[in-house]
């Protein structure tokens, strides 16, 4: 996948949707009875990148204070949604150690992942930071995970919603009517090619999480270190 082309197409279509007032509000954000949980393997950007993201979010908050903004602790890039969130899933339904072992086996040939966070894009319901892996390491690792999980008997729903190929981070979701869509797009245009920073991934996290990866609902299951 050409990520630049993908992000550009997504931005063009979504910015037009936002300006036309056809964007989507997330009705579940404040639903305390939301029982959608799953298991995710993820990467967290370094502190410098998170600081740069918060500067960007501060500008958005000034014009759209009532939207949902990701705090530092929740910002992440999904490596693989191993069990996509669904209502009623809980940890007692699986043997976590079997998942840890399989991920560890898949890591054997991985020696590095480096990601550049550059520019922003949008969906009809969210704003995202664009992530660009600098080589095929992340893609190859994802394929190894797909291969190993499909050969196993473990519960998984890899690629059931879509086949993940990007390295973006969602940082804002629409939860109320936008006050000024045009100003929102102006800020996005300002940051379309902004360099948020790059970093070499040192560890991956396996977590039990809700739909929004909120820290308060996350259980840390394992950490995997990459020998760079």
pLDDT digits (tens, 9 = 90+) for 140-165: 999 999 999 999 999 898 866 556 78
For residue 211, what pLDDT is reported?
A: 95
* pLDDT the model gives residue 155: 87
Distance CA 67, CA 58 (A): 12
Find the mean pLDDT for residues 185-190: 98
End-to-end CA distance of the chain: 25
Span 53-82, average pLDDT = 97
Residue 138, pLDDT score: 94
Read off the pTM. 0.94
**pLDDT of residue 181 exceeding 90:** yes
CATH number, residue 123 = 3.90.1140.10
* Rounded-to-integer distance, Cα 113 and Cα 141, Å: 9
**Parallel, antiparallel, or unpaired for β 114-122 and 195-200?**
antiparallel
Count up the domains in the chain and report the number: 1
The dihedral formed by the CA atoms of 131, 136, 137 and 142, expressed in degrees to the nearest 10: 80
- Using the Cα atoms of residue 60, residue 11, residue 73 and residue 116 in order, give the sign of their dihedral: negative
Which residue pairs from 51-56 have beta carbons closer than 8 angstroms and sit at least 24 positions apart in sequence? Answer: 52/117, 52/194, 52/196, 52/197, 53/117, 53/129, 53/169, 53/171, 53/196, 56/120, 56/129, 56/171, 56/187, 56/191, 56/194, 56/196
pLDDT band of residue 4 (cuts 50, 70, 90) is very high
Residues spanned by the domain of 12: 3-225
Q: In sequence order, which ranges of the chain are alpha helices (DSSP H)?
A: 3-19, 47-63, 96-106, 137-151, 181-190
Distance (Å, whole) CA 222 – CA 48: 24
CA of residue 45 relative to chain centroid, distance = 11
Question: Using CA of residue 204, residue 131, residue 67, residue 46, what is the dihedral sign?
Answer: positive
């Amino acid at each position: 996948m050409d990520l630049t082309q993908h992000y550009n197409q997504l931005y063009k279509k979504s910015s037009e949707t936002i300006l036309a007032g056809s964007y989507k509000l997330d009705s579940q954000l404040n639903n305390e009875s939301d029982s959608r949980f799953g298991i995710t393997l993820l990467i967290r950007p370094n502190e410098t990148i998170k600081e740069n993201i918060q500067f960007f979010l501060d500008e958005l908050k000034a014009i759209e204070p009532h939207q949902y903004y990701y705090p530092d602790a929740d910002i992440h890039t999904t490596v693989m949604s191993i069990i996509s969130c669904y209502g009623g899933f809980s940890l007692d339904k699986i043997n976590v150690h079997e998942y840890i072992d399989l991920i560890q086996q898949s890591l054997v040939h991985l020696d590095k992942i480096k990601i550049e966070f550059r520019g922003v894009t949008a969906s009809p319901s969210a704003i995202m930071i664009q992530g660009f892996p600098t080589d095929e390491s992340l893609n190859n690792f994802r394929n190894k995970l797909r291969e190993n999980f499909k050969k196993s008997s473990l519960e998984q729903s890899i690629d059931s919603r879509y086949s993940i190929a990007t390295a973006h981070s969602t940082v804002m979701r629409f939860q109320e009517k936008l006050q000024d869509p045009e100003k929102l797009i102006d800020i996005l245009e300002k940051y379309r090619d902004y360099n948020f920073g790059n970093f070499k991934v040192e560890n991956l996290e396996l977590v039990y999480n809700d739909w929004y990866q909120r820290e308060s609902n996350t259980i840390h299951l394992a950490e995997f270190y990459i020998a760079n």
